[in-house]
Amino acid sequence: MPDKRPFTAIQTESNDHAWFEVERAIIEPAGGRVVVQRAASTDERVALLQDAQAVLVGGAQITSAVLDQLPDLELIIRYGVGLDSLDVPAATEHGVVVAHYPDFCQPEVANHAMMLLLAVARKLLPHDRAMRTGQYRGPGLPVVPPITGQTLGIVALGAIGRQVAQRARAFGMHVLAYDPYLDASVFAEAGVERAATFEELLARADHITVHAPLTPETHHLFNRAAFAAMKPTAILVNTARGLIVEEAALVEALREGRIAGAGMDVFEVEPVGTDSPLLAFDNVALTPHSAFYSEASNQQIKERVGHTVVAFMQGKWPSEFATIPNRAEVKPKRPLR
């Protein structure tokens, strides 16, 4: 007998039903169902997903062990760019199609990276706090780097890295980037100097911004050795993945004055605890993994998720709305055209 259940897409990282109204308004008129329930653990997530043909996921880990327990799952949609929270090979083995949106929120993240750099360099936090306590200019103006004429080092010159390079050049900065996976033509087209090694970038950059994916090679790329190789006047900005930066090493470098500051949107453990030592520094600007967000980008990603689900329900590869990284290898559980 054919399965008569409505195609069910479940989000297990939120209890905010109103946040998913855009997806619901697209999916449910097409005959699907959107369920929003927060899972407090992996086991609870598996239990909640038993009725799901699709899971709409942010940062939750969907591993091989999870997939083993979800025989009806057909589609995983990752909000946003990265796939480090998903076991794509395991999904492929299970006949599960994986979709994501690698072109999502590029201008927002680039803008956010520059905002964090400027906030730390221009001493926004101590100035703001002094003003709010009646200290106009406080005891004296702090040392502020010029930015213009300095060198910005970019780790990974992908789409977001190239947008950051555009903005940095508008501020009169020289741009140096390290990305061993790109041809020289990409650097030339972007007007960016290529660092031959990561070590060269660390030594030459006045400030560094990270836009790499999380991989075994980039895990804790910024460790004690990396911070020791940076200029003591340098600011590190990370809007990519928290685990690229070893936070204990970052805190140590900040305490010992081995770098001048940091702007962090992502962290090793999220949400950040109130006991995090990063909260104590005036030369560290922190935002809650929000670099992706604007009203426009949020609306766009929700619409694309909704249309991806509907296309899949209708037996279509949803590449019009999303990228399918395992399309060539996966054997879907429903016929797709």
- Residues annotated as catalytic (active site), given as ranges: 241, 270, 289
Q: Where are the alpha helices (DSSP H) in 230-294?
A: 247-255
Question: What are the tokens at 19?
Answer: 């946040």
Distance CA 136, CA 210 (A): 34
Question: What are the tokens at 102?
Answer: 């690698």
CA angle 169/172/175 to nearest 5° reads 50
Cross-strand bridge partners of residue 177: 154, 194
Q: Which helix (H) or strand (E) holds 154?
A: strand 151-155
User: Residue 166's closest CA among 231, 106, 239?
Assistant: 106
User: Do residues 286 and 237 make contact, with C-beta atoms less than 8 angstroms apart?
Assistant: no
CA angle 285/133/137 to nearest 5° reads 75
What end-to-end distance do the CA atoms of the chain give, in Å? 23
Cross-strand bridge partners of residue 152: 175, 207
User: Residue 261's closest CA among 253, 249, 273, 272?
Assistant: 253
Distance CA 108, CA 288 (A): 14
Instruction: Please report the DSSP string for 89-142 in residue order.
Output: HHHHHTT-EEEB-TTTTHHHHHHHHHHHHHHHHTTHHHHHHHHHTT-TTTTSPP
Three-state DSSP class for residue 64: helix
